[in-house]
Structure 1
Amino acid sequence: MATTPKAEPAPGLVLVDKPAGWTSHDVVGRMRRLAGTRKVGHAGTLDPMATGLLVIGIGKATKLLTYVVGHDKVYEATIRLGQSTVTDDAEGDVTASADASGVTDAQMADAVAGLTGDIQQVPSSVSAIKIDGQRAYKRVRDGEDVALPARPVTVHDFEILAVRREGDLIDLDVRVDVSSGTYVRALARDLGAALGVGGHLTALRRTSVGDLEVQDAMTLDQLGAMVDAGAEVPRLPLGAAAADILPVRALTDREVATLGFGQWLDADTELAYDGPLAALDSNGDLVAIVERKGDKLKPQIVFRTAHG
């Protein structure tokens, strides 16, 4: 007897306020159960100790996640000066301690300014970056000394919100607005190094990814309660999600049909932007992601084909 294929889940993005102690993979697993599908992914890993905005894609929306990852991100964090750890955060053992009580507010402000703008950053040795096919953190856990090369990142804003002095230690509450690929743990480490006392991250919360804000997110408990009450997981539809992530190219009905067959469009002559565009129909629904190639727009991903 022929089996009926399982219906494709309603696609969309879900903004989750990740709790502390959960891995990003844990959240994906929970969302698979709540949404009733295995077609779930996330954009931009958060460490277990971190909280805040984790962007989840369901169904076809998983294809949008690669465009989410590249956006700037804003974090609120607490940096402890006077202690270094093996992981550059509170998860790791303390490797060195120093008396930070003599560090002045002016010295901290100067060190923060030195870590603002376009900088070369050495990622934390326990990052997920691969070295010869193996994650750096796995090599560290296996006892290897790992030295990752510096890479360019941009710290758009690095603001000290509060200073708390406790004995030999100083805790700084900060807000950072950074480019994709920036490690806030590494900023904490480098700030401590610049001040000569060592430093590590004790708290981290992601508040935004591009135009997506944690204030619009829901906790897993809230989402679970909605599903238990018989509702579906609320999600941002493909069109609205794409418009929040990418510049929009409005389509005529003829262009919708053209893209549905995977064919290229003529580019707008006044279009200077050559990155990916969200191609939306007159109802604001996502038809495709297109990118300029010379005087044409090439479909990179087609969400609505001519064959359905």
Structure 2
Amino acid sequence: MWYNPVPILNLRGDCNLNGILNLNKPKGITAHDAVAKVRRLAGTKRVGHAGTLDPAATGVLPICIGAATRVVEYLSDADKAYRASIALGLATPSYDLETPPSVIVENGELARRSALTITELEVLLQTFVGPQMQTPPMYSALHVGGQRLYELARAGKEVERAARSITIYSLKLLSFAPLMIGDTAYPTLEVDIECSKGTYIRSLAVDIGARLRAPAVLAALTRTRSGPFRLEDAHTLEALAEAAQEGQLADLLYPTDYALTDLPRVELSLDDERRIRMGQTIPADSAAAEGTLARAYSTDGLFVAILRLQAQRWQPDKVFNPDLAPSPISGEG
């Protein structure tokens, strides 16, 4: 279950921001570009993003500032949700519309694909739900032999990529209608997807096309959720710039531990807190599996640490300095 507290004011002022911004990334910029813009607005270099988005994609991009950069790795591991448009009848090297088409089918074939029924498509999409192995596209930021795959792809090279384990939790068809790409109308599926980290929606689009025996591309993509951060609560860069100009950027920050709301909560006694802050372990009153992560809070509601269960003891994974106010989510169940 996800929680949605009201973003809190960072009482330290904009000169020392700590927290997470829920950015609605626009089309045409990289996640790195977005981070650079937020660095200028926040006046700090300590900024990072959690879970990259392709330049052509839009939607939720959590931006961590200050001490919150220490939870980037946990937030990047969170499940994601997307709305995607998958066009049938053409293929590109990048699996999207960022490179010129390499395959375009004839009008007769397009007509045949347009004749697919909603029921047929819904049945087919359900075959993609569940754990599976997925091969990343050549146009991706993964490293192979010390080079990013997209650098090799732009040089005209293709290398073998190891398939990776992913999970599609749900895949829902919203519509099946023509989409104009250039001067041609291509039959296009609009779908909502919930998936695990590391899922390439471009690869999923191509795989869906292959199952339909048709070339396919990802025509549009919006991330609607990343962990607990949702599109309906996201802010544009323009809104962030306006808030920064008015000295109110801190008002839009979520607390650092908001990124961890899917983890179990551990309440620390005064002695437990002292031990954790010293890097020591404490007994765990938990039947959770080895390696389970948890978020720990002090007796007065301050977020203290991320803990890891080892041999039935909680050991500190990361410890955080005391904040000026209790976390607004520390008391939820």
Considering the TM-score relative to the shorter chain, is it more than 0.5? yes
Task: Report the counterpart of residue 68 of structure 2 in structure 1.
Answer: 61
Partner residue of 1:25 out of 19, 32, 35: 32
**TM-score, with normalisation over the residues of structure 1?**
0.91
- The CA deviation string for residues 140-165 of structure 1, in whole angstroms up to 9 with x for no partner, is 11121233122221111111101113
SS of corresponding position for 2:271: helix
Task: Report the counterpart of residue 211 of structure 1 in structure 2.
Answer: 228
Partner residue of 1:150 out of 136, 139, 163: 163
The unaligned stretches of length 5 or more in structure 2 are 1-13, 323-333
Task: Report the counterpart of residue 102 of structure 1 in structure 2.
Answer: 112
Change (3 A) 1:16 1:212: same
- Kindly, what percent of the aligned residue pairs are identical? 34
The 10-residue stretch of structure 1 (256-265 or 104-113) with the greater mean CA deviation from structure 2: 104-113
The CA distance in 1 between the partners of 2:277 and 2:291, in whole Å, is 21
Change (3 A) 1:10 1:228: closer
The CA distance in 2 between the partners of 1:45 and 1:245, in whole Å, is 20
Task: Report the counterpart of residue 331 of structure 2 in structure 1.
Answer: none
Aligned: 1:184 with 2:204: no
The number of residue pairs the alignment matches comes to: 298
Contact 1:43 1:69 (8 Å CA) reproduced: yes
Contact 1:76 1:206 (8 Å CA) reproduced: yes
Aligned: 1:297 with 2:297: no
1:85 Cα offset (Å):
0.8
The CA distance in 2 between the partners of 1:242 and 1:287, in whole Å, is 14
The 10-residue stretch of structure 1 (23-32 or 94-103) with the greater mean CA deviation from structure 2: 94-103
Task: Report the counterpart of residue 11 of structure 2 in structure 1.
Answer: none
- The CA deviation string for residues 193-221 of structure 1, in whole angstroms up to 9 with x for no partner, is 11111100111001111222122211110
Task: Report the counterpart of residue 257 of structure 1 in structure 2.
Answer: 274
The one-letter code sitting in structure 2 at the alignment partner of 1:256 is E
The CA distance in 2 between the partners of 1:271 and 1:152, in whole Å, is 24
Contact 1:122 1:186 (8 Å CA) reproduced: yes
- The CA deviation string for residues 39-68 of structure 1, in whole angstroms up to 9 with x for no partner, is 000010000111110011111111101001
Task: Report the counterpart of residue 4 of structure 2 in structure 1.
Answer: none
1:275 Cα offset (Å):
1.7
1:26 Cα offset (Å):
0.5
SS of corresponding position for 2:112: coil
Partner residue of 1:200 out of 217, 221, 238: 217
Partner residue of 1:73 out of 68, 77, 80: 80
**TM-score, with normalisation over the residues of structure 2?**
0.85
The one-letter code sitting in structure 2 at the alignment partner of 1:292 is L
The CA distance in 2 between the partners of 1:136 and 1:19, in whole Å, is 24
Partner residue of 2:255 out of 218, 237, 242: 237
1:119 Cα offset (Å):
1.8
1:243 Cα offset (Å):
4.2
Task: Report the counterpart of residue 329 of structure 2 in structure 1.
Answer: none
The CA distance in 2 between the partners of 1:140 and 1:299, in whole Å, is 42
